[in-house]
Chain A
């Protein structure tokens, strides 16, 4: 889709667009670099949006770490770009709840978008395909093209939807193209690009519904986001959104899980969690999510979870003491079941494995915070498991509690050496087990807190460093030509001079002045003067050596610092510049060449200071002007100007 086409659609004023705070955020973040403070302040002006951003930061992917309580902390945790994008997404929801297209189910649309968002976020976390907050945003906006078409052409889109109802197998994209010469997927991509959302988002929203979804992806990031959207939209459709279930659904789901290499059990967990979260978001955004669920399709696990929502879930807040994600490993099913029972009752989320090898695979996938493992097991014993966990970066910090038999107790030193954190002798009193787990939890939380603080400190320092570099660069750059300015030139020259004097290497400079510049300005105006300056800067950049520094000293005066170059070498460079400037004809209404006069000078001429060197070069520029302009002067010439070399 062409930019122009989108611009025309924008002019209709009917395209869904961010409103209020969203618009402010869009304005603030027009450029590539924007300050975190600006974005967080804009978000904070809207309390509801603030709450939602904090909720995102506290949801998937960060369980167990410190709860985020402010937008600034959320930005620290998720990165300012992700926060900006999430905020933009939310303002779109609040600004486009309803509309004038009679056949379009606006509430259903947002309920579905929200389901895709939550599922994409959960899949991103489970499969580690993208940052969970980014997946949420992309999911939330995945269907924006449909909403846009319904907004621009309310009556005709209603007609199209009606037509589709009578032939449900018809391809919606094709119908759209036939009617509007434009389909919702390309429109969505263009809109996301217009909101300066990442390229991977734009590609994903345009591709995830296509059969060959991954074809033509610009990079791996875009591919991963597309896979997430595809998975999320299929699951949302099959599991969340009300319509009559078909046998094909089950088949599609099975194919999807095979493609994602996601075990059924793990998928059921993701689905149950996503369902709860979807409802929570539905409440937070006043989007009806309850009417959409097919009770028959909800897994038993999800129903159990839904049947007894805790108060905390209802209020959308974190429970006081969060449970741990614990993996219990034992080849004895009785012991496994009993331990699971005690841990679950104490508020932990428990997964089970029957031996070390199975446990290792599960641990690498789901990164539990704690592993409670039996010692003596077939396939891979508890000690080997501990050693393997310590070797992988994903599980290095996992807390390992080992269950030992009496006969193994005298070998616990060996266990600690293998990387076990704590042990408990069987048979044990369940209360002692729970106490040990709680002690471990304190350790885990401390570790996570330290890790979280390290990450946010690193990020803060990186942001500071970037900011400093930018400020410094700004202070050293000439705005018009983007060349380094006089301040930079003087500092650089001082450094080069000291290096040259210390190392005995040559150092030369070329001073350059544009001929008749005042006339250009007077006759053709300052805009033309600026153009001449920029053109000259470009020629200078292109004709100098890599090690040379080209600076604008001010006015029409430039300086090239040729480090380690003799006077003869630098005179050649000067001549090259002169010829190139003369050749680069700039149109002034009529064509006329801009020319420059150049003075080359070198340390070898007996100068000892920056000042002396520049004065010498300046004097030679004057000589070049005096002898007819458009030339290089690299020696003192003429009576009264001679100076012994």
Chain B
């Protein structure tokens, strides 16, 4: 379980790889990717809450799945792991565990946003 993980919010190695992406010729690519991620992830995180409220397990699974892979791309590994658990819970229709997982995901996402905004500068 990922509760109170001692892992950092963002994996420094993944972040470093993203920074190196554009190389010297295109340093703005890093910023662009972070913004792409934040825009897309915000929409999906609010989907999680909406899906929970309406009991739409398909939407919950779908958004959790997308968040899982895109978050891994930017090094938000804890958040990605939470989304993986959420995806599985939704798929298995474990209704009792989904509200707390969504709440944890939302908290973790706040931390991811702050960390990424700091990294973006």
Could you tell me which A residues sit within 8 Å of B by CB distance? 331-335, 337-338, 341, 376, 378, 405, 426-427
Contacts and interface: CB of A to CB of B under 8 A. Distances in A.
Given A337-B32, A338-B33, A332 B21 contact: no
Contact of A331 (B21, B22, B37, B66): B66
A338 B69 CA distance: 13
A405 B83 CA distance: 14
Interface stretch (B1-9, B49-57, B70-78, B96-104): B70-78
Contacts, number: 38
A331 B43 CA distance: 13
A332 B32 contact: no
Given A333-B40, A337-B33, A337-B36, A378 B73 contact: no
B72 to A, nearest CB: 6
A376 B68 CA distance: 12
A405 B68 CA distance: 11
A337 B29 CA distance: 9
Contact of B70 (A334, A341, A378, A405): A334
B62 A332 contact: no
Interface string B79-99: 000000000000000000000
A334 B35 CA distance: 9
B65 interface: yes
B32 A333 contact: no
Contact of B69 (A337, A341, A378, A426): A426
B62 A378 contact: yes
B7 to A, nearest CB: 17
Contact of A427 (B22, B32, B40, B73): B73
B14 to A, nearest CB: 9
Contacts of A405: 69
A427 B72 contact: yes
B91 to A, nearest CB: 11
Contacts of B69: 332, 335, 405, 426
Contact of B21 (A333, A338, A376, A427): A338
A354 to B, nearest CB: 10
Contacts of B32: 337
A341 B22 contact: yes
B33 A334 contact: yes
Contacts of A378: 62
A87 to B, nearest CB: 43
Interface string B8-45: 00000000000001100010010011001101100000
A334 B74 contact: yes
Contacts of B73: 332, 334-335, 338, 427
Q: Which of A331, A333, A378, A405 has the largest count of B CB atoms less than 10 A from its CB?
A: A333
